[in-house]
Amino acid sequence: MSYVAKRTEGAAGAPLFLTFHGTGGNEGQFHGFAEQLKPGAHICSPRGDVSEHGALRYFRRTGEGVYDMDDLAARTAAMADFIRSEKKKTGAADTIGLGYSNGANILASVALAQADLVDTLILMHPLIPWEPKAQPGLKGRRILITAGKRDPICPAPLTQALVDYLAAQGADVTVHWHPGGHEIAQSEVDAVAQFIAG
């Protein structure tokens, strides 16, 4: 599976930093942010290949918060293949993934299916509206989740359920809440920078 993607070539032996945009975004949404966060890294930002009334996404849904699970499974497998190919191409030993909203959801879905592909996960406003199966491969993975306490798209109780699930798998989970909704707050940006630097 091939995606249209924006790439920045990194130094030899540098980590691979993958970014995944939200619904209606594109491959440029977080690319520059990743360059700032990890200078010298290989940066790869794939563009979602699903159009929802002209808005780019990574998988189909039938309504707000209602996923087409068959489509999600197929596109999760395709994205996993893409990530594996980028890792091989760059030779990176360490892989970081950052996704927002729909981008966080495809990244989380890949991690739930194939936990060994991405070492460090940054999930901004994720929504996993099902109960994932146990995934022992998540043990020890560093994961940051950022969310809004009043997010109408990713309700706080579902975010907390994901945090609890990841912790139960043995992941090293950090959570940052802001008081607002689905927007990205400056405090989140700061939390991501601190997490990457840590």
Residues serving a catalytic function are 101, 151, 182
Structure tokens at 84: 């594996």
* CA–CA distance, 118 with 102 (Å, rounded to integer): 17
Query: Residue 101: which of 62, 150, 145, 35 has the closest Cα?
Result: 145
Looking at this protein, which amino acid is placed at residue 63?
G
* Contacts for 11 with CB less than 8 Å, ≥ 6 apart: 40
65's torsion region: left (phi>0), alpha (psi -120 to 50) or beta? left
Cα within 13 Å of Cα(73), Cβ side: 4
* CA–CA distance, 165 with 163 (Å, rounded to integer): 5
Structure tokens at 127: 């929504």
